[in-house]
Structure 1
Amino acid sequence: MRPADEVVDLVSALIRFDTTNTGDPATTAGEAECALWVAEQLREAGYETTYVESGAPGRGNVFARLPGADPNRGALLVHGHLDVVPAEAADWSVHPFSGAVVDDYVWGRGAIDMKNMVGMMIAVARHFKRERIVPPRDLVFAFVADEEAGGAYGCGWLVENRPDLFDGVTEAVGEVGGFSLTLPRADGSEARLYLIETAEKGMRWMRLTARARAGHGSFVHEDNAVTILAAAVGRLGRHRFPLVLTDTVGAFLSAVAEETGHAIDLESPDLDTAVAKLGPIGRIVGATLRDTANPTMLAAGYKANVIPATAEAVVDCRVLPGRTAAFEREVDEILGPDVEREWITELPSYETTFDGDLVDAMNSALLTVDPGSRIVPFMLSGGTDAKHFARLGIRCFGFTPLRLPPELDFAALFHGVDERVPVDSLIFGAEVLTEFLQNC
C-alpha cells in the first residue's frame, strides 16, 4: 500500500480524536488516546515506539526512529503536534471532530493545523517499514503534545527533560510550510510557488497591570485603574510598529516579483499595499513586515459600584528576529509610567538560511511531483515547536507539502470555522514527503 492510498483515512481518523487544547490543563482534553493510537499504527508496521507523558497526565507524545544508510550523518526530525485549538460545533457546516470527507475535502479541527501532516507522517513511516526502504540518514518521527499553548507540556518539557529522544538530530521539518501559492504572471500564465518556512517571529505574551485607589462607584475619581489601563491598551493596540524588511521576507518578495513580472519596491514605505495584493496569503506575509502587539484579554472589578484597585490586560506580541530590545523600548514609551508589564510567555524568534542539502532535497521532491514549480523562503507570523527544537541546535524548516487550489483561502483555515484540507492535497503531500524522505 502506497502512502497516498491511506493518508486520507489516517487524517480522518486522527481528526475524530478530540485533542482540544484550551491552554488550561483543567479543561484540555489531552493527547494520550490519540498518541497511543498513533503508536499502534507504527507498531503494526514493525516500529519500536516510545510513549512519554510530558509534565502532566494525558499529555502524550510518541517517538519512533528509522535507521538510515549512513549512521555518521545527522538524523532528521520529522515532527507534528497532536493537539488542536477549540471548536464550537454549532458554528460549523460539519461536526468539527467528525473527520468527514465531503466535497473532496477532509473536514474537521486539525485538518490543516496539523493532523494533515501527522497523517502523512504515519503513512510514509509505515510505507518505509513495510517496503524495507532505508533512508539516507536516520529519521526520527515525533508526534507531540501542547503546541497550541506554547509547548510547556510538549516540546518545551521534552527538550528540557528528555533530550535523549533527539540524540544525533541536526535538522527538522514540520509545520507551517511547503504549501503552494499560485500567482498570475504578466504574460497570462501562472506561477506556482511553494513556501518553505525558514523563519518565525518571536512569541511574547505580556500582562499589563494598572493600580490605583479603590473606591465607591458614585464618587468622582481622578485616579481609576480601569481608565489608566484602557487608555494604555488603546494606545498600544492602535500603534503601528516600524516596517523592518528581514532577509527572509526580502527574499520571498524578490522571488514573487521575479516570477510574476510585477516589480515590488522593497524600499517603499507603502510595502504593505504591495503585499496585500498577494491575496489571502498577504495577511501572513504582511504580519512579518513589522512587530505586532494585539490586546486579547481584559479583566477588572468585581461589582458594578466598586472602583477596583487593579485592572489587567493580556497582549499577544509577535516580534521580528533581532528586534526584541527595540520592541521593548517602544512598548514602554507607549504604555507610560503608570502601567506595569511582565512577560508571561517568552518564545524567541527563529531564522535560518535558505540553502543546503536539505533545501535541495525539498526542491527536488517538489519538482519530481510538480514540475515547473519553485520553492521560496518565507517567515511565519505565528510560532511552532521549531522554537523549542532550535534550543538543541537543530536547524528547523516548515515543510508540510500541499498543492492547494488557487482559490482556497488557506490562511483563513488556521484555527478557523470549517477547517478542511483537500483530498488531492493530502495525496500530493504524501507523494512529496515520500520522495523527500527517500532522498534527504
Structure 2
Amino acid sequence: MIEPAALLKDLVRINTTNPPGEEEKLLLYLERILQEHGIPYVYQESAKGRGNLLAWQLADQAEEAPLILMSHTDVVAAQASQWKFPPFEAQEVDGYIYGRGTVDTKQLTAMELTAFLALKEKEISLKRDVYFLATSDEESGSAYGLQWFLDHEITVGETTKTGRELFRGSDVISEGGGFPVVGGKREFYLCESGQKSCGTVEFTVKAKGAKGAFFTSGDGMERAMGLAEDIGKQKLDGRVLDTVKKFEQKLAGVQLSPMMQKILTAMKQNSMTVTMITGKNVNEVTLVCDVRLLPGFGQKYLEEVLKNLAEKWDCSYRIVSLSQGYESSPDGEMLKILEEATLEILGKTKEEAEILPFVSMGSSDGRFLADLDTKVYGYSPVYAWDMTFDSAVTMVHGINERIHRDSVVFGSKVLTLAVCRAAQSGI
C-alpha cells in the first residue's frame, strides 16, 4: 500500500511551477506507480513537457455514470527567500510538511491516487467506471490541461471518445473543499459544490474634443473616475441558491469569522470590481474589472449591466472573458457517501460533524464542466486541528504553505472509503 504522506513529499519535490509548468516530470512519476500496480493509463502530450495523465478501472457492465478523480499538478511560483523552509524540498517539521502545492493541490493528487490504487488492491467489483485524471496548466487557464483534454480524443479500452464525452454525466471529485469550519463543538466540512462564473471586462473612456497629449480636454479622466466610483457603489442583483439556503440553515446560531461572513455575502450577490486603470495619456483611459456572477446569471445579464454603465458615462466596453458558473446538487448521492466516509474515519456522529456544501468565489477546472451535466464536488478533507477554512485560504498561493502528515493520511482514508463505496457493486 502506498504511503500518502511520502507520496505527497515526492510530488512537492518535483517543481512544477507554472509558468513554465513542465508537469511531464511529475506525470511520469505517477506513470511509474500505475505501471507497478498494473493499471492501464495513457499520457497525452499537450505541449512540450506538458500533458495530462488518465488511468482507468472499468466495470464489466457499468450500471452508473463514471466517477472521475481529478486534480491538477502545476503550482504557482514561490519565492524561497520568504519561506521558513525551501518550498520544493518538502521538509517535515513536527509532522507538518512544508512546500508549494501541499494545499493547492498536490495533496489532493496524493489522496486521490491512494484511493484509486485501493480499488485495485481490494479487488473491488465495480458497478461504474472509475478514472484518475492528473492535469496540467490549471493555474494559468488550463489551455494545456483540462481544456485540451476535453477537446481531444482518447482511447480507453476498446472505445475512443473525446474527453468531453468521457466526462458527460459523471460524478467528479476535484479541488476546493474539505477544510472545516468549527462552530462550538461541531465541525462543518466544507465541500465545494458550485462556483460563481468569473470574468474580465474592459471599459474604454475617450476624451471629447481632445487635441493631442499637450492639449487635452480632461473630461476623459473625469468620466473614467466617475465610472470607477459608480462601479464601486452599485449593488448588482443576487439570489439565494439551494446550496446557500442549506448553508445558512446549518450555520444558524454559529458565530462566523469575518472571513466566513464575507463568503456568505458573496454567495448571494453578483459583483464587479475595478482592478486596474490604465492609459497612455488622459485622452483615453481603460478600466479593467473583475466580474463574479452567480449560477443563473450569464452573459446576457452582464451585457445589460455593462450597456447601462457605458451609456451613462459615454464609453465603450468589451467582455474579455467569462466562464460559466454552476451548482451541483447539494443533496447528491456522492455528497452523502463523502459525508458518511468522513464521519466514519473521524469516529464522530452527525451531531458532531457533517459536510456542508458551498458555492466558491474562486475558479478551478470545474468551470469547464458546467455544460456537461456533471456533478462536481471539491473535497480533500483535513483535520480541524490542522487547518480550518480560514487558515487554508491564507495558504493557497501563500507563503509557508503546509499540511500535517496526519491530515494527508486522514484525507486519503476518507476518499478511499468513499470511492470504494461509490464504485462497488452490490451496495
Who is 1:14 aligned against?
11
Q: 2:157 matched to which residue of 1? A: none
Q: Tell me which stretches of 4 or more aligned residues in structure 1 moved more than 6 Å.
A: none
Question: Gaps spanning 5+ residues in structure 1: where?
Answer: 22-26, 185-189, 263-273, 302-306
1:116-265 matches, cutoff 5 A: 116-162=107-153, 164-165=162-163, 167=166, 170-184=170-184, 190-212=185-207, 218-224=214-220, 226-257=221-252, 261=253
TM-score, normalization by structure 1: 0.83
Q: Identity of paired residues, percent?
A: 28
- Say whether 1:89 aligns with 2:80: yes
- Decide whether the 8 Å contact of 1:112 with 1:421 is kept in 2: yes
Q: 1:321 aligns with which of 295, 298, 306?
A: 295
Q: 2:393 matched to which residue of 1?
A: 411
* Residues 344/386 of structure 1: CA separation in 2 closer, same or farther (3 Å cut): same
User: Deviations for 1:74-101, whole angstroms, at most 9, x for unmatched residues?
Assistant: 2101100112222222322222222222
Counterparts of 1:71 and 1:147 in 2: how far apart (Å)? 30
Partner secondary structure for residue 397 of structure 1: strand
Name which of structure 1's ranges 207-216 and 353-362 shifts more when overlaid on structure 2: 207-216
Matches of 2:116 and 2:333 in 1, distance apart?
Answer: 21
**Counterparts in 2 of 1:81 and 1:311: CA distance versus 1, 3 Å:** same
Deviations 1:34-66 (A, max 9, x none): 222222222222122211123x33331100001
How far apart, in 2, do the equivalents of 1:135 and 1:179 lie?
A: 29
Unmatched 5+ residue regions in structure 2? 154-160, 423-427
Query: Alpha carbons of 1:405 and 1:327: their partners in 2 closer, same or farther (altered >3 Å)?
Result: farther
Relative distance call for 1:109 and 1:75 in structure 2 (3 A) is same
Alpha-carbon distance in structure 2 between the residues aligned to 1:93 and 1:231: 45
Distance in 2 of aligned mates of 1:294 and 1:18: 34
> What is the CA–CA distance in structure 2 between the aligned matches of 1:153 and 1:309, rounded to whole Å?
39
Deviation of the 1:160 alpha carbon: 2.2
Determine whether 1:284 maps to 2:263.
yes
Q: Does 1:107 pair with 2:98?
A: yes
CA distance in 1, matches of 2:285, 2:136: 33
1:360-380 CA-partner distances (Å, limit 9, x unpaired): 211221121122221222111
Alignment of 1:384-403 (within 5 A): 384-403=364-383
- Name the structure 1 match of 2:278: 299
- 1:201: Cα distance to partner? 0.4
- One-letter amino acid of the counterpart of residue 365, structure 1: A
Aligned alpha-carbon RMSD (Å):
2.6
Q: Secondary structure at the match of 2:68?
A: strand
Summarize the Cα distance change of 1:406–1:7 in structure 2 as closer, same or farther, 3 Å threshold: closer
Aligned partners of 1:106 and 1:422 also within 8 Å: yes
| Count of equivalent residues | 404
1:271 is aligned to none
The alpha-carbon deviation at position 140 of structure 1 amounts to: 0.6
Identify which range, 158-167 or 87-96, moves more after superposition: 158-167
Mean Cα deviation higher: 377-386 or 287-296: 287-296
Partner of 1:437: 419
- Matched residues in 1 for 2:61 and 2:260: separation? 39
Specify the code of the residue in structure 1 equivalent to 2:166. D
Cα shift readout 1:291-330 (whole Å, capped 9, x = no counterpart)? 12233334322xxxxx365433432211111223444433
